[in-house]
Amino acid sequence: KTPENVVLHVADVHKRFGGLHALADIDLQVEEGKTHAIIGPNGAGKSTLLNVIIGRLAPTSGAVVFDGTILTGKKPHEINQLGVARVFQTPEIFADLSVLQNVMTPAFARRDGAFRINMFRSVESEAEIRDEALAMLDDVGLVGRREAHAGALSRGDKRRLELAMCLIQKPRLLLLDEPTAGMSRHDTNTTIELLKKIKSRGMTKIIIEHDMHVVFSLADKITVLAGGRIIAEGLPEAVRGDPRVQEAYLGG
Ligand code: ADP
Ligand code: MG
């Protein structure tokens, strides 16, 4: 019952925390290659939904289906191995390694994982992985800092590094969790430009975001949550003008 171009289907998900209905009747379809934003006021259920998708929380009922595979019941690392990656919540970098080594590490893990599955598949050499890592660093604007200790980077640069570490894994679905939270306006704009640049790569993205400027710069489609329910969904222009959305945001 999932249309062919839909890569992620959150099917009738409910999540209760004791008496609190944090997610109710959530049916969300994310199309392949698109950037799908999930917005809503504080407490709307955005983080809960993201945690259900990546397997950190089990839904009370309903299921999450990714590319024909039911994710519900799988562990976060199993879901990650299926090609679902998440960035920007806590920067998980190796502070004592160089910037370049940080980007190469997940590529080695990906290669070794693929090797275990099919020993006869040709695998990338270390030199190839290094070249690929340098290309990723170039994309995120960090190639000039490749030999720096990752721990010495600024906060904004750590986020760029984390994005490069994620992209080199070639995820099919990338979940961005408030990518500009706590950033200055300058860093926010740099991040928007970076995300626009990687947008054309065909990778499907879900962006959880509070900042409307970021959302309207990047999203192909927007789902609005409020009080654990989907209150509006559609193209950015339509959602922007929806009175229910304005009411939810302006404290209606
Ligand atoms: P958002 O990310 O949109 O701000 P959340 O998903 O964090 O919203 O929270 C939705 C609701 O669920 C809030 O009322 C929040 O207090 C509640 N909630 C979130 N996580 C838990 C939890 N682990 N236990 C109990 N209540 C929770
Ligand atoms: Mg949240």
Whether residues 119 and 185 share a domain: the answer is no
**C-alpha span between 114 and 9 (Å, rounded):** 26
Tell me, what's the ipTM?
Answer: 0.98
CB of 47 sitting under 6 A from ligand 1:
yes
Same domain, 101 and 177: no
In a domain, 22, yes or no: yes
Same domain for 246 and 178, yes or no, is yes
Of the three residues 150, 170, 190, the one that is the final residue of a domain is: 170
6 and 115 both lie in a single domain: no
Please state the domain count of the chain: 2
**Which structure tokens are listed for 133?**
């890592």
Q: Can you give the pTM of this predicted structure?
A: 0.86
Q: Is 45 in the pocket of ligand 1 (CB under 6 A)?
A: yes
CA 215 vs. chain centroid, Å, equals: 14
Q: Give tens-digit pLDDT for 16-64.
A: 999 999 999 999 999 999 999 999 988 999 999 999 999 999 999 999 9
CATH for 4: 3.40.50.300
In this prediction, residue 252 carries a pLDDT of 45
Q: Is residue 91 part of a domain?
A: no
Q: Locate tokens 């839904």: which residue?
A: 59
> What range defines the domain where residue 108 resides?
96-170
Whether residues 75 and 3 fall in one domain: yes
Closest atom of ligand 1 to CA, residue 44: 3
- The percent of residues in the chain predicted with pLDDT above 70, rounded, is 92
